[in-house]
Amino acid sequence: MSKTKLKAFTLGEMIVVIVVASIVIAMGFLMLNMVKKQVRIIQKTYHQKTALQFFEATFIRDFNTRNAYYDEQKNRVSLKSSKNSIAYTFLDDFIIREKDTFPLKIVTKKLFLEGFETKGKFIDAIEINLSEEFSNQQLFIQQTKDAAHYLNTPNN
């Protein structure tokens, strides 16, 4: 009987291959988790910017087509026209506009009338300072007034 030697890998070689493959797979999972984390951060930033842009565009449109009144007790800006009215309620973590909710964290807001800060009911501009989550961004929204407004407004 003749003994023929079969060509094969030894047990030691197989263990080395399994260890190296395990290390490569583990590094792949770590990289995948890092990519997922970055994607979540990018998505969160995108959603924040989108919400901010949508709020700003909507508020500017509403603010410039209606008369603005502020109710300090309800922390609400009411925008009224001859056809309809819209209310913006300012809460700590979000702003509510009818059925819309804007997830904006407000630090401070200032109200203005004719360029001067006011606590009164009538306003024509508002300054909103957002939290660090929104890079401490500041929004200043004012009503656009044409010459007819100043001609029809009596001098004080």
Q: Report the pLDDT value the prediction gives residue 3, as an integer from 0 to 100.
A: 78
pLDDT band at 153 (very low <50, low <70, confident <90, very high): low
pTM of the predicted structure, to 2 decimals: 0.74
pLDDT band at 92 (very low <50, low <70, confident <90, very high): confident
- Check pLDDT > 80 for residue 24: yes
Domain limits of the chain?
A: 11-149
Q: Report the pLDDT value the prediction gives residue 1, as an integer from 0 to 100.
A: 62
Q: Report the pLDDT value the prediction gives residue 120, as an integer from 0 to 100.
A: 78
* Tens-digit pLDDT profile for residues 8-19: 888 999 999 999
Q: Report the pLDDT value the prediction gives residue 138, as an integer from 0 to 100.
A: 92
pLDDT band at 135 (very low <50, low <70, confident <90, very high): confident
d(CA 141, CA 124): 9
pLDDT band at 144 (very low <50, low <70, confident <90, very high): confident
Burial class (CB in 10 A: 0-12, 13-18, 19+), 60: middle
Q: Are strands 100-102 and 95-97 parallel, antiparallel or unpaired?
A: antiparallel
pLDDT band at 126 (very low <50, low <70, confident <90, very high): very high
- Check pLDDT > 70 for residue 81: yes
Q: Report the pLDDT value the prediction gives residue 27, as an integer from 0 to 100.
A: 97
Burial class (CB in 10 A: 0-12, 13-18, 19+), 78: middle
In the chain, the amino acid numbered 49 is: K
